Amino acid sequence: MVDEVFIGTLVASTLRVSVPLILCALAGVLCERAGVIDLGLEGKMLMTAFAAASVGVVSGSVVLALAAAMAVGVALSMLHGYACVSHRGDQVVLGMGITMTAAGLTVVLGIAWFQQGGQTPPLPDAVRLDRWFVGAGEVVGQIPFMGRALQLAFFGHNLMVYATGVLVFAVWWLLYRTRFGLRLRAAGENPGMVDAAGVSVKALRYQALALNGVMSSLAGAYLVLAQNPSFIPNMTAGRGYMALAALIFGKWHPVGALWACLLFGFLDAVSIRLQGAKLPAFMGGGEVPVQAIQAMPYVLTVVLLAGFIGHAVAPKALGRPYLKER
């Protein structure tokens, strides 16, 4: 019975910490498949989280909070496009710039608007996302042997957790089953060909970036609407980079990225749970090296990138600005 509860809550917390990673990785997949590197995921997530939190606190409306996050996310993506697609600026540098600016700007505005050292006040309950399928979970909980674990693991999450699953499918569908997706991927592999076919590479990359802005704003909004009761300075704490690692680990594929995010989320959930726990006697019996588990996603990504387990091949034109011949 104890094990059942343990497994159920572990799966549940894995899902909950994975959701912002998955959304953020989808944002990355969308624009990197179009050939635009996004190292600004961390900054976009932080900035949109702040937008959602501050508008949520002031207006008391989920819809307005989400709208504000999306407006900020898309605006940042358009800046990304203006600098890197229109003016062929360095995409890596732009991402670093957005992330660094976001880290400072959110705190400056937070202090000015809310006077709580950069935090926002806690969001009112009306703005927080409700738990869904609680009733269905009760029913499932009655099933013998595994009912309780299933209930704890998969029911009673907020809407965004379930929506994220749908979004992974939607992004996959968009990229692999629609004409737009084919063109978008072509813009990341061989922009010259797209251009020769009479399709604008620039427009495709801007569209990909707009979708990227929407996705990263959902990731940011999740942090304050579902995970944490208020915005805290630097609350993304490297999640944007971890999402980037996951999208590489998932070989720039939405479903691959989903599994990578779940793996990284699982490691995160485990490391929180094992803080201070003892290793079993046959492993020396010392404290569990939590930091080693936390560093695992990054180590795995480096190993994968080095080609020691499979090979991650980036879109061919990734990071290369497209120059239209005249």
Partner 1 sequence: MSQTLELPRWLDVAVLPLVNLAFALAVAAGVVMLVGFDPGEVLSLLVKGAFGSQAGISYTLYYATTFVFTGLAVAVAFHGGLFNIGGEGQAIMGGLGAGLVALAFAHALPAWLMLPLMVLAAMLFGMVWAAIPGALQAWRGSHVVITTIMFNFIAAALLGYLLVNTLKEPGNMTPESRAFGDSALLPGVHDALGWLGISWPSTPLNLSVLLAAAAAVLVWLALWRTRPGYALRAVGFAPDAALYAGMAPRKLIIVSMAASGALAGLVGINEIAGVHGRLLPDFVAGAGFAGIAVSLIGRNHPVGVVLASLLFGALYQGGAELAFEIDGFSRDMVFMLQGLIVLFAGAMAQVAAPGLARVWFAIAPQRAASQVPQRTPGA
Judged by the rule CB under 8 A, the positions of this chain that interact with partner 1 are: 39, 43, 83-84, 87-94, 96-105, 107-109, 111-112, 115, 118, 233, 238, 241, 244-245, 248, 287, 289, 291-292, 294-295, 298-299, 301-302, 305-307, 314, 323-326
287: three-class secondary structure by DSSP? strand
Amino acid at 265: G
User: Distance (Å, rounded) from C-alpha 156 to C-alpha 221?
Assistant: 19
- CB neighbour class for 313 (10 Å; exposed up to 12, middle 13-18, buried from 19): exposed
Say if CB 90 and CB 231 are below 8 A apart: no
Cα separation, 164 vs 24, in Å, equals 11
Nearer to partner 1, 23 or 38 (CB): 38
Which structure tokens are listed for 71? 């407006």
Closest CA to 159 of 134, 131, 184: 131
**Cβ atoms within 10 Å of 21's Cβ, excluding its own:** 31
Measure the CA–CA gap between 244 and 39, rounded to whole angstroms. 8
**Rounded least distance, CB 192 to partner 1, Å:** 11
Give me the phi and psi of 210, to 5 degrees please.
Answer: -65, -45
Beta carbon of residue 148, minimum distance to partner 1 (angstroms, whole number): 35
Residue 181 or 240 with smaller CB distance to partner 1: 240
CB of 298 to partner 1, least distance (A): 4
- Nearest approach in angstroms of CB 159 to partner 1 is 31
Residue (52 or 76) nearer to partner 1, CB: 76
Backbone angles phi, psi at 314, to 5 degrees: -75, 155
CB of 103 to partner 1, least distance (A): 6
The residue among 121 and 141 lying less far from partner 1, judged by its C-beta, is 121
Shortest distance in whole angstroms from residue 11 CB to partner 1: 25
Q: How far is the CB of 274 from partner 1 (least distance, A)?
A: 14
Give the residue with the Cβ less far from partner 1, 229 or 233: 233
Give the nearer residue to partner 1 in terms of CB position, either 32 or 123. Answer: 32
Considering the complex, state which of residue 8 and residue 81 has its C-beta at the smaller distance from partner 1. 81
Cα–Cα separations (whole angstroms), residue 6 to 58, 212, 278, 290, 322? 38, 36, 17, 18, 51
